[in-house]
Amino acid sequence: MTSHPDPLFKLPQHQGKCPLCQHPLLIKSGKNGPFMGCSNYPTCHYLKPLHEHEHSVVKVLPHEPCPSCGQPLAVKNGRYGMFIGCSDYPNCDFVVHETDNQTEQFDCPACSKGQLVERISKFGKHFYGCNRYPKCKFLLNEQPVAGSCQQCGFALLIRKKTAKGERLLCADKACQAEQS
């Protein structure tokens, strides 16, 4: 194997062979990033990620017990930023999910039965989708705003940040008319 200028891609000698079948390991790329995989694939399915996404504990909160197991909660730094979770992870996987009661609730304009909720994709991007997913697959990549479109009458608008500043647009992907 030729050496790569990036030190990330230099394999230590003890990781050069597959622990299952002793064939050489190769650096490959997948949807979750680079990993080491056995050169004897598909006979051998050994793989190991190059980057581990670990959660580091910033501060233990001794007076805040976990509602699931009773252990103290901890402020942690993870893949998508800071969060509060159980200090007894991986035995307990409780995580405090932010609930902001002051955010406005919007009815889903597609199914009229669900509510739009803010979610985070696996890449860390915020989006708004119907809470009846997968029955209703309506989603918005921008923040919803109460109002109706002046052009088509769609029951929801979005706030989009552009180089010209914030603009209000129709949330209907077929229309997207700018509102005055």
Condensed to tens digits (0 to 9), the pLDDT of residues 3-59 reads: 555 555 554 434 678 888 999 988 888 776 778 888 888 899 888 877 655 557 788
Q: Which two tokens stand for residue 70?
A: 């009773």
- What's the pLDDT tens digit per position in 107-150? 888 898 888 888 887 777 888 888 888 899 999 999 898 888 99
pLDDT bin (cut points 50, 70, 90) of residue 72 is: very high
pLDDT bin (cut points 50, 70, 90) of residue 163 is: confident
> Alpha-carbon distance 98 to 119, whole Å?
11
- Say what the pLDDT of residue 103 is: 57
